[in-house]
């Protein structure tokens, strides 16, 4: 941590990742550290939907929770990866998630087609997985 007079302490998140993960740090953890360095850990935590202590634990390689869920959130919210939508073609993962979250509305044939595609075996849909986890 570097102390700058009259400023908040600056944390070197990449150094934290290198210390905790060594050469095995996944690309998404590095992206998370870079985002924290550019903004703040709290702001990044809000963007990905987790608490700042959770983000700190992930960066420090001590998180005991569901790491794949954190990875998914980071990939969707920070990295901006794309997926191949059966209706739209290549779209950002955030747009894919937005379509999955929309309720059914017969306002257009396109919207109905998207609603059905997201719920009818799309490999990128998280709807069936979350429904199964909730039912268990």
| Domain ranges across the chain | 13-78, 82-120
- Give the model's pLDDT for residue 135: 43
In DSSP terms, which residues pair with 105 in a beta bridge? none
Residue 125 phi, psi dihedral angles, 5° rounding: -75, 135
> Which of these, 3, 16, 118, lies nearest to 61 by C-alpha position?
16
Instruction: Tell me which of 23 and 7 has the higher pLDDT.
Output: 23
Full-model pTM: 0.64
pLDDT of amino acid 128:
59
What mean pLDDT, rounded, does the chain reach? 87
Q: Is the pLDDT of residue 35 over 50?
A: yes
Question: Is the pLDDT confidence value at 133 over 50?
Answer: no
C-alpha dist (Å) from residue 14 to 18, 22, 109, 125, 131: 6, 11, 47, 32, 36
Residue 106 has pLDDT above 80, yes or no: yes
Does the domain at 13-78 match CATH 1.10.260? Answer given as yes
Residue 82 pLDDT: 85
State the Cα–Cα distance between residues 135 and 99, nearest whole angstrom.
22
| CA 35 – CA 26 distance, rounded (Å) | 14
pLDDT for residue 105: 94
**Residue 127: what pLDDT?**
84
Tens of pLDDT along 50-81? 999 999 999 999 999 999 999 989 988 888 78
Report the chain's terminal Cα–Cα distance, integer Å.
Answer: 44
As a whole number, mean pLDDT of residues 68-95 equals 89
């Amino acid at each position: 941590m570097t102390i700058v007079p009259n400023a908040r302490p600056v944390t070197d998140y990449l150094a934290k990742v290198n210390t905790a993960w060594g050469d095995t740090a996944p690309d998404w953890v590095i992206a998370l550290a870079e985002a924290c360095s550019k903004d703040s850990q709290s702001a990044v935590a809000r963007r990905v939907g987790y608490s700042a202590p959770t983000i700190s634990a992930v960066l420090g390689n001590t998180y005991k929770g569901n790491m794949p869920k954190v990875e998914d959130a980071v990939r969707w919210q920070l990295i901006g990866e794309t997926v191949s939508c059966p209706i739209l073609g290549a779209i950002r993962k955030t747009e894919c998630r937005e379509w999955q979250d929309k309720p059914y509305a017969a306002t257009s044939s396109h919207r109905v087609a998207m609603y059905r595609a997201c719920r009818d075996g799309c490999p990128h849909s998280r709807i069936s997985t979350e429904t199964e986890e909730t039912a268990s």
